[in-house]
Amino acid sequence: MATKTKKLSLTDFPEKEKTVGNIDVKVYGETSYENQMAVLSHWLHNHRRETTKEEQVEIIDAIRDFLSRKEFRQKIDIDEMTDGEVLMAAEDPAQYDLFSQFFNVPFPSPDNPKFTFIDLFAGMGGFRIAMQQLGGKCVYSSEFKASAQQVYLANYGEMPFGDITKESTKRYIPDHFDVLCAGFPCQAFSAAGARKGFADETRGTLFFEVARILKEKRPKAFFLENVEGLVNHDRGRTMRIILDTLRSLGYKVSHRVLDASDFGVAQARRRIYIVGTIDKEVSLDDFPVRRATVGDVLEHGKPLSDNRITKLLLKKFSLDELYGKSIKDKRGGGDNIHSWDIGIKGETTKAERTLLDKMLTERRKKKWAEQWGIDWMDGMPLTRKMIASFYAGKDLDKLLESLVKKRYLVYEHPKKRVTKKTEGGVSYNVREEDESKPRGYNIVSGKLSFDISKILDPNDVSPTLVAMDMNKLYVCDNGGLRRLTLREGLRLFGYPEEYVLGMSERDGYDLLGNTVVVPVIKAVAERLINGISKQNN
């Protein structure tokens, strides 16, 4: 006998308070809560749009659940309200003061919008800030990651809908809006489509969802952002399919790789921007260049780090000497400080450091692979005979023995490339030690797993910030070293000072490393919106 599925509501889940900005977020750990919050918050901000009967039922349920929470029970008797009265309460939230938390946010929508847009793969809402600054109103947002949803709610008063690949999420997209915005992830496309169009070649990718929405809703324009690697991804095939697909949908498409450091942002971040309108290509050439440095975004007087590696660095170098330095053993050159330079595993002599510096460069040369008789790899072990060919000192054996003992070098077999297959028959390559070959000496670690990866130069721009590395970026402050703060990270992406990022550093860095650069989005969007306006006149 089939059992009837119980209808879930907000009150079915144990509440856990989490305050983000001005909004008390209820974390239930269930997707039904996020979805109901998305339904409710989108309705509050866009209640004048037409809805189907099915949508109205869902909206009324979400409002009833919200109003039935304990803080409202003394103000209003939900059980006695008709559906029409429930909708009226939501349509005039100021009258009842029931929904003020959804409007008392840093970035409210403009009162008299010039255009409308939807925000897909919304992340922290970098697209939304830029588009609102230009007079746009967001009428739909979608974001899968829970931490991004909470931050989005705190800053814009809307909980984004979740997984855009699901029909239950896409059905909330309104029929009419002007611009589709999306910072969609880069994915490889199947070769099975044989160039028959996006339905065959892009199916199963997130770009397919973007293309499908463009085809069904026919907005006046779109604005896409992605990593620079998209240009050459899969030998250029991915980019070619994307452009062909967009053009096949009837859009005039422009694209350009732009660097955030040219737009007044102190970060070298190259991304590809793709825009399109129905009638005319939008030029992405000749943007005015504005410059900024890391020093422009730094806070001062923040707590300093006092870990072992900072002590070693400050013992060996002055702050000026640390500007722009990376802490790693993967490369040579003057921009890198190596483990042996500061004695992380023990003090080294000048001769030992000279040998290690030379080996660090030599081990990357392809000629050694030929001598080993194996496929080349970046960073190969070298035999004593190989090392003696570029190091003529008589103390070589003594140095090698000492460095192995101190664990700066490891004595190991070279690695051969071995092809394996998954259970599904997909081939992949791995590296395994070839014990038939003699052992050689190799640098122990390719990249140090220590607290610091790079110390930013206040007189320069930062490198491209990525989620996995942001918590290891350090700056100089008040005679010492400390981690980059979340506020400084927000400034390196051009976010306004009012932006709320009320979460742990770990979660904040994760979101920042994947967000867009607001000033670049605004500069490109301004041309796109102007292009639409001219076409309408």
Burial (CB count <10 Å: 0-12, 13-18, 19+), residue 487 = middle
Question: Using alpha carbons only, what angle is made at residue 236 by residues 231 and 239, rounded to the nearest 5 degrees?
Answer: 60
Write down the residue that tokens 């790693």 correspond to. 328
Report how far residue 274's alpha carbon sits from residue 224's, in angstroms, rounded to the nearest whole number.
5
**By C-alpha distance, which of 69, 73, 77 is closest to 33?**
69
**By C-alpha distance, which of 447, 449, 412 is closest to 431?**
412
Strands 115-120 and 136-141 come out as parallel
- The answer to whether 410 touches 442, Cβ cutoff 8 Å, is yes
Report how far residue 114's alpha carbon sits from residue 49's, in angstroms, rounded to the nearest whole number.
16
Longest Cα separation, the chain: 95
Composition of the chain by helix, strand, coil, percent to 5: 40, 15, 45
Report how far residue 363's alpha carbon sits from residue 441's, in angstroms, rounded to the nearest whole number.
10
Report how far residue 262's alpha carbon sits from residue 291's, in angstroms, rounded to the nearest whole number.
6
Find the Cα–Cα–Cα–Cα dihedral 199, 200, 202, 207, rounded to 10°: 0
Lookup: tokens for 313:
């660095």
Local structure of 327: helix, strand or coil:
strand
- The answer to whether 409 touches 442, Cβ cutoff 8 Å, is yes
Residues whose CB falls within 8 Å of the CB of residue 57, separated by 6 or more in sequence, listed in order: none
Kindly provide the residue ranges of all beta strands, DSSP E only, lying in 70-177, ordered along the sequence. 115-120, 136-141
CA distances from 283 to 253, 261, 287, 398, 424 (A): 10, 20, 10, 64, 46
CA atoms within 13 A on the CB side of 55: 17
Question: Using alpha carbons only, what angle is made at residue 399 by residues 396 and 405, rounded to the nearest 5 degrees?
Answer: 140
Q: Specify whether 138 is catalytic.
A: no
Report how far residue 483's alpha carbon sits from residue 219's, in angstroms, rounded to the nearest whole number.
43
**In this structure, how many other beta carbons lie within 10 angstroms of the beta carbon of residue 417?**
13
Local structure of 36: helix, strand or coil:
helix
- Out of 138, 181, 186, 476, the active site residue is 186
- Mind telling me the catalytic residues? 186
